[in-house]
Structure 1
C-alpha cells in the first residue's frame, strides 16, 4: 500500500523513521489530511462510528425499479452536491481519485402553513415561472409580488456588500446582525418569512431565529460565492455518481491502519509528542490531527487544553439535526409543480423567525436513482412520517456561524502545530465540504512543514502530485 519512492524528509540520504501521526475523525477533513500524508508519515485513522466518512454517509436502499424489480442503490444522507465554481479542491480530489460526478439540481421550494389563500398553505418553488406561481392565486397576491421584488433588490444589495472583501473592522456593515439589516433596508415580512429565512436556514441547517442574529458577512459572502444571489450565470451543481462514499472508500483503501468503532477518549501531550487514549489502549504518536468538531477537539484535550485553545475552540457552537431517510411523499408540497430538490416546510403554527429548520431533500432530483418511487431525506421533520416508510434515522451536528465563531476562526492558524497538535474541520470555513477539505489540506501542509516531510530530491515532483490546495 505504501510504496511512494520519494517519501523521505529533507536532507536525508536514507529514509529515517517516518513520524507516526494519529488522525482523529474520518470526515472530509480527516480524509483530506490522510490522503495528503499517505506515504509521508505512518498514519492511524481513528473513527468512533461504524462507517468512515462523517457527513459523507451513503446508505444502501432497495426499492423497485421502473419495471418493478427490486434494485439496491446508494443514497446520500449528508453531503450531496458540489459545483464547478466554488469547490476547486474537491473537484481536484475527485479527478485524482477518478470519481465520477453527474449533473444535479439546487431548486428550492417553500411551504408556509396558514400563509396562503383563506388561511391555507402558501407553496412556491423557484425552478421556473410556472413553479413560482404553482398556486395560481398568488398572481393576484400583492404580498407575493412584493416578496419577488425584494428578492431582486436583496440580491443586488448583497452582491455589493460581498464585493467589499474582508472589511470586518469595527463599524463594518458586514458585522450588522441580519435582523437589523433587513429592518434598516425595509425588506418585507413576506420576503423574510417566505424566502430569505427558509433559504438560509436550509443552507446552514440552523433555526431561523438564530439566522437573524448572524452577521451579514456570514450569508452574503457564502451566497455570493455560491451563486445563490445571482439571477443569471449561476453555477452548475453536481453529485457523485453512485453516492459520495465512492471517494471515501478510495481514500480509506490506501490507509494501512484505519480503525472503525474506535473512539478516542483523550489526547495527552508532552515534550515527546502525544498519547492517544482509546478503549483499552494508550498509544504514542509524534503528532495528532484533530479532524473533528471544535467542541469535540476541546473535550479530547480536556484539562491539557491551553487558554488560547479554550478560547477559540469553545467559541463555536453546534446545532444538532435529525435526518430521516424515507419514502413518504406526504411531506412534500401539495402542488406537484412546487416540488423541488430542497423543500422547506415551516411547522404548523410556527412563526418563521422561530422555526426549527425543516427541510425535505427530494433525492430523485438530486441524485440519479433507478427507482420512480420518491426517495426523501427529511431534516428535522415537523410532521409525522409513516413509520412503515422510514428507511433510516441519523444525527448530524452543524456549526453555528455567529459573530463569535467568525472571530474565533481568524485565530485558528496560531493554534496549528502547537504541542504537535493540528486542527481541521469544516467549522473553520462556512461549514461545507470544500471548507472541510481545505482545512484538512491546510493541516496536512502545516504538519509537512513542521516535520520537513517533503523530499529534497524530487520535491518538485511531490508538489506536482499533491492536490492544488496543499501548496497554493
Structure 2
C-alpha cells in the first residue's frame, strides 16, 4: 500500500484523505491545532456559529453534497440576501424587495439609483448573451465596465460590492478579475437572473460536523499542530521535514495548502512549479464574531444575510468590509444577534466580541486564471500533487473538487456522482 502525505487539512486535504483512506496509508499534516481550515465553527456558549465557510447550494456543490450525504451530515435551508451600506447609512439598499431596494424613500427621485437598477438589468442581459454566443471578451471586469459605459452607481453600489463580498476582496482588486470567468460564475450561481436561483443551505450544527466526522475516520493519521518545514523529493520518495526536525518519507505528497505556502515549503520546486505557484496571490482578512449591531446597516429593515459596508461611494476601495448576519444565515433563534464582520470599518464593542480569526482568501487576476489552466502540467510530476480552493473560484466546492481529482488520480474511488472531480 502506498504511503501518501497530505499537507493541510482544509476541505481539499480532508476530502482527499477521506477518499484515499483504505486505498493508501495516509498521513495529514496540519500546522494549526485544529482541522478544517475555513470550516471553522465557534461555540458561542451552546450556540455553534460558523465564521469562515458558511453556505452551500443545491446547484453548484455536487461533490460537497455527496460528501455530506456519505458522512450523514444534515443541512437546512438558508437565505443569501444582500445589502449595501455606504457612508454610515448615507446610501443603503437591499435586494429583498422593492421596499428594501428603496429603503431610502429619497432614492425614488434619485436618477443615479434608477440608473443602477437599469444597469443591473442591462449587465445581466449582456452577460447572458455573451455566454450564449461564446463571445466573452478577454479583458478585466473593470475594463469591461468602462468600455460599455456602465455607471459608477452600478459599479460602486451593486456589482463591485457584491463581488467583493463574494470573494472577500477589495473592490479595487475586483476590477482586475477576468470578466469571462466573472460572468461564468455569476451565471452558474443564478446571479444573472431575478428568479430561478439555487437554494442555499447551511450545515446543521455548523461546518465542524463534517470536519469532526472525517477526523474520526482518519484517527492518528490526522496530525494536528504539526507544521511542515520543507519537502524534498528524489528517487527514494518525498521527504517531509517537520519544524520539529523529524523527517518522514512517503511515496507521494499532496499539497492541500495555499499556493504561496506550498511555494515556501517545496524546497526543490522546479522552474515550472515555482512559476505557476507564484501566480496566485492571497488577501489577508480579519474576521470577528460578535454581537454589536452597530456594525450592521443603519436601517434595520435593510439588514440582509450579507451586508457590504464602505466609507466611500467609490469603485476603488482598498479594503473589503462585510458583516454576515448569522441569525438569518444559520437560522439561529433568540434575541441575541450573531454577526461575523470581515475587516470591520469600526471596531465592535469589546464586550460583544466572541472570537477573532485571521483568514487568507485567494485573489484572482489574469495571471492566476491563466495559471489555473496550466496546473495539470505539474500534477503528479516528481511525486507531487496540488489542490485547494485557489485552483478554481476559491469556494468550498472548488477545494473539494480539486481534492477529489487528485484522490481519483491516485486510485481512490468516489462514492457519489455528479461532481466534476
- TM-score band (shorter)? over 0.9
C-alpha root-mean-square deviation of aligned residues, in Å?
A: 1.6
Deviation, structure 1 residue 174: 3.0
- C-alpha distance in 2, partners of 1:287/1:467? 25
1:365 counterpart SS class: helix
Question: Deviations along 1:41-84, whole A, 9 cap, x unmatched?
Answer: 1111111112110010001002xxxxxxxxx1210000011111
Q: Residues 79-158 of structure 1: matches in 2 within 5 Å?
A: 79-113=53-87, 121-158=90-127
SS in 1 for 2:125: helix
Task: Report the 3-state secondary structure (helix = DSSP H, G, I; strand = E; otherwise coil) of the residue aligned with 2:316.
Answer: helix
Kept in 1, the 8 Å contact 2:259–2:278? The answer is yes
Q: How many residues align?
A: 419
Partner of 1:313: 277
Per the alignment, do residues 164 and 310 of structure 1 end up closer, same or farther by CA in structure 2, a change over 3 Å counting? farther
1:380 paired to 2:343? yes
Q: 1:428 aligns with which of 374, 387, 391?
A: 391
SS of the residue 1:187 aligns to: coil
Residue 468 in structure 1 maps to residue 421 in structure 2: no
Measure the CA separation in 2 of the matches of 1:471 and 1:131: 38
Say yes or no: does 1:300 pair with 2:304: no
Answering whether residue 240 of structure 2 is matched by residue 291 of structure 1, we say: no
Task: Give the one of 248, 260, 273 matched to 2:237.
Answer: 273
d(CA) in 2 for partners of 1:287 and 1:391?
Answer: 40
Match of 1:263 in 2: 227
Give the unaligned 5+ runs of structure 2. Answer: none
SS of residue paired to 2:122: helix
Cα distance in structure 2, aligned partners of 1:222 and 1:233: 15
CA distance in 2, matches of 1:350, 1:127: 21
Please say if 1:25 is aligned against 2:8: yes
TM-score in terms of structure 2 length: 0.96
Distance 2:23 2:298 in 1: 55
Which residue does 2:31 correspond to in 1?
A: 48
Q: Structure 2 vs 1, CA of residues 446 and 52 (structure 1 numbering), >3 Å: closer, same or farther?
A: same
Q: CA deviation at 1:135?
A: 1.3
Q: Per-residue deviation at 1:471?
A: 8.6
User: What is residue 391 of structure 1 aligned with on the other side?
Assistant: 354
Give the secondary-structure state (helix, strand or coil) at the position aligned to 1:145.
Answer: helix
Aligned to 2:373: 410
Residue 37 of structure 1 aligns with which residue?
A: 20
Instruction: Tell me the distance in 1 between the aligned counterparts of 2:181 and 2:355.
Output: 32
CA deviation profile, 1:123-158 (whole Å, cap 9, x unmatched): 100011211111112111111111111111111111
Is there any run of 5+ residues in structure 1 with no aligned partner, and where? 1-17, 63-71, 115-119, 166-171, 449-453, 455-462
Q: Is the 8 A contact 1:175 1:403 kept in 2?
A: no
Instruction: Note if contact 2:401-2:420 (Cα within 8 Å) is conserved in structure 1.
Output: no
Matched, 1:192 2:166: no
Alignment of 1:156-305 (within 5 A): 156-164=125-133, 173-256=136-219, 257-278=221-242, 279-302=244-267, 304-305=268-269
Distance 1:75 1:405 in 2: 32
Tell me how far apart the structure 2 counterparts of residues 384 and 400 of structure 1 sit (CA, whole Å): 25
Shift of 1:164: 4.8
Deviation, 1:350, is 6.9
The residue number in structure 2 matching 1:61 is: 44
CA distance in 2, matches of 1:270, 1:390: 49
Q: Partner residue of 2:49?
A: 75
Offset at residue 276 of structure 1 (A)? 0.7
Q: TM-score, normalised by structure 1?
A: 0.86
Measure the CA separation in 2 of the matches of 1:395 and 1:164. 42
In 2, Cα distance between the equivalents of 1:414 and 1:467?
27
For 1:230 and 1:98, locate their aligned partners in 2 and report how far apart those are by CA, in whole Å.
32
Contact 2:62 2:419 in 1 (8 A): no
